Structure 1
C-alpha cells in the first residue's frame, strides 16, 4: 500500500460524472496478463521493498514504487495532450550509517516517449527510471538523486494471492477493495551506487502489485502495512485501516509458511500493538516505530533498521509518513526482515 496512492489528492475532480470499474470478488487473476497495467482502474502500483547486505555485511533497505493513475477526466477529448494516464515513481534508500532516508521521485503523463505502464507484462518506466520483467524475473534501474539502484530480482517461490484469491477488502464495504498479489522472497543481486562508487549487494525483496478504483474508506484516517520475508522461507503480509481514534476499521493478512501452506486472516484476527515511538524533529509527528504484531499462530516484535525513516512528500502529496525497513524478532532471535508503512499519523488522509 504505497504512499503514492495519496497523490490522488492532487487531481481536481471535474463536474462531470465519472465511473471506474469496480473490484469484484469473482474476478480470478490471470497470469501473465495481470502482471501488466490495468488502465481502466483508477489506481495501480508496483511496489518493491527489500533489504540487502554489502560485502562488508552492512545492511541497506530500499523501496521502489511505480504508480499509475487514471484521472477522472473525459477521455473522449481527441487531443493528444489529454492526460489519460499519469505515472509517478518514488525511490528511497535506508542506510543506518547515514541515519535517515535518501529519497527521490518523478512524475509524468503517459506517452510522448516520457513514461508508460505496459499491458500484459511488467514494464513501467518514467524517463530513465524503470522496472521491467526479464527472462528470469525483474530488473529495476533507478538513477536517483544521491544514489542509484541497479538490482535484479529472481523469484524463489510462487506468487502469493492476497485476500480471497487476489480480492483484498479494505473496509466493511465490499466495494472498498483491490486486486492484489505479492511476490515475496525474491532473491536480490546488483549494485547500490553512492558518491560515484558502485557497491555489490545481495539480499531479499518483496514485490506488491495492486489495482483499485476505491481504496480508502471515508471512515479511515490512514493505514499500517507490513510485508515480511521470514528467515525460514515463509512470507507474511498484515495490514489494518485505522479510524481517527486509532482503532481498526478493517484488518487482514496472509501467511504462507515454510511448507507452502497459506492462511488468510479475518479482520478480528490481526492485531497491531505499538511498543515504542519516535518523534520527527522536522515535522513533530509521533510515529509508533516499534510494534508487536499478532495473528493466530504468530506473534512478532518489529524493530526498525533505524528510527528516522520518515518521508517528506509534501511537494507531491502534501503529507508526510513513515515507511521503512524493519526486522522481526521472536524469543530473542531475529526471524525475518521486511518493510513497514505508517500513514495518516500527521493528519488524516483526504481522498
Structure 2
C-alpha cells in the first residue's frame, strides 16, 4: 500500500490480517488471529496476536451464502462477492480498509480442492488481485492508502502433519497476472507436494505441471530472537507454454518473523517481497508475500 504523509513524503506498507478457526468434535471453536504491518519506509516490522474461544456460538453449516463475517475482539473481516472490509489495530498502527476484487476468484487445483494425503483435504480459493482503499493509522497519523492485496480462503477437514512445513508464495506481476506457488515438506525436510497456479490477465486459472517449476533459495537469514534459520531470497524459473519466466524474489525486510505461540502455538516468517525478472524475454516486475513455516534453529 502507498500513502502520502502530512509532510508530503511517500510511504509504503505491507499488511497481513489472518483469522483461523479450529473445530474439533463438540468442543467450542477456537479462533486465533494475527495482524502485521511491514513499514517499509521506516524499515520496521510490527505484529500482534489474539485468540478467543467461541463458547455458545453457532457453528457454520456449510451452506452459508452470506459471505465472510469473522471477528476476534475488535479485529474483523466482512466480505461477499469480492468486496471485503477489514479493521484491526495494534500499538502504533490500525487499518480500516475496503478491498475490491479485480478478477473472479481462482479455484486452486482447478476445482478448489487441495488434498493433504493422510492429513485430509481442504477447499481453497484466492482473490489474486484486489484493489485497496481506506485509512491506515500510523503513529496516530491517519493516512489515506491505496494499493493491491491478495485474499486467501481455505477451510476443510484437515490437519497439518507435525514436524513438517511449507513455503508459500503469492506473486502479483505488473502485466496483470498472478502466481501462487507452494512447497510442502514432511518432518524430514523432504518435499511431498509442489503446486504452481497461474492466473492470466483475463482471469483464467491454469495449473502448471510440477516439473515446470524450479525454486532455489539464494540466501538465508537467522532470527536474532528465535535462532531459526530461514531461506531469504529466491530464484524462480517456470518453463511452460503459458509462462516462460525467470524471477528473483527478495524480502523488503529481512526480519518479518511472527512469534505467535500464545495464539496459534507456532513461529513463522511471512512478509512483503519485491519481484523482478523476465517473462517470455521481456522485463517484468511485481510484488507479493511469502510465508515460511516449519523451520528450525540453525
The TM-score with structure 2 as length reference comes to: 0.86
Report the counterpart of residue 63 of structure 1 in structure 2.
16
8 Å CA contact 2:128–2:151 kept in 1: the answer is yes
Matching of residue 156 in structure 1 with residue 109 in structure 2? no
Matching of residue 257 in structure 1 with residue 200 in structure 2? yes
The aligned runs of 1:10-25 (5 Å cut-off) are: none
Q: Which moved more, 1:262-271 or 1:308-317?
A: 262-271
Cα-to-partner distance string for 1:297-328 (whole Å, 9 max, x where unaligned): 23211111111111111323443211000111
Matching of residue 346 in structure 1 with residue 290 in structure 2? no
Greater share of strand = 2
User: Any gaps of 5 or more consecutive residues in structure 2?
Assistant: none
Report the counterpart of residue 36 of structure 2 in structure 1.
92
1:201 positional shift: 0.8
1:116 positional shift: 8.5
CA distance in 2, matches of 1:149, 1:116: 28
> Is the alpha carbon distance of 1:215 and 1:71 closer, same or farther for their aligned partners in structure 2, counting shifts above 3 Å?
closer
1:71 positional shift: 2.7
8 Å CA contact 1:178–1:215 kept in 2: the answer is no
CA distance in 1, matches of 2:225, 2:50: 23
Cα-to-partner distance string for 1:55-94 (whole Å, 9 max, x where unaligned): 243221000001111034xx2xxxxxxx431211110000
1:227 positional shift: 1.1
Which of 5, 29, 54 is 2:3 aligned to? 54
CA distance in 2, matches of 1:116, 1:289: 40
Which of 145, 160, 171 is 2:91 aligned to? 145
Structure with greater contact order relative to length (CA < 8 Å, sep ≥ 6): 1
* Residue correspondences, number: 283
Q: Which moved more, 1:132-141 or 1:158-167?
A: 132-141
The aligned runs of 1:151-190 (5 Å cut-off) are: 151-170=97-116, 173=117, 176-190=120-134
Report the counterpart of residue 242 of structure 1 in structure 2.
185
Report the counterpart of residue 309 of structure 1 in structure 2.
256
Aligned-CA RMSD value? 2.5
CA distance in 2, matches of 1:103, 1:153: 21
Matching of residue 276 in structure 1 with residue 222 in structure 2? no
CA distance in 2, matches of 1:107, 1:96: 27
8 Å CA contact 2:173–2:284 kept in 1: the answer is no
The aligned runs of 1:13-52 (5 Å cut-off) are: 52=1
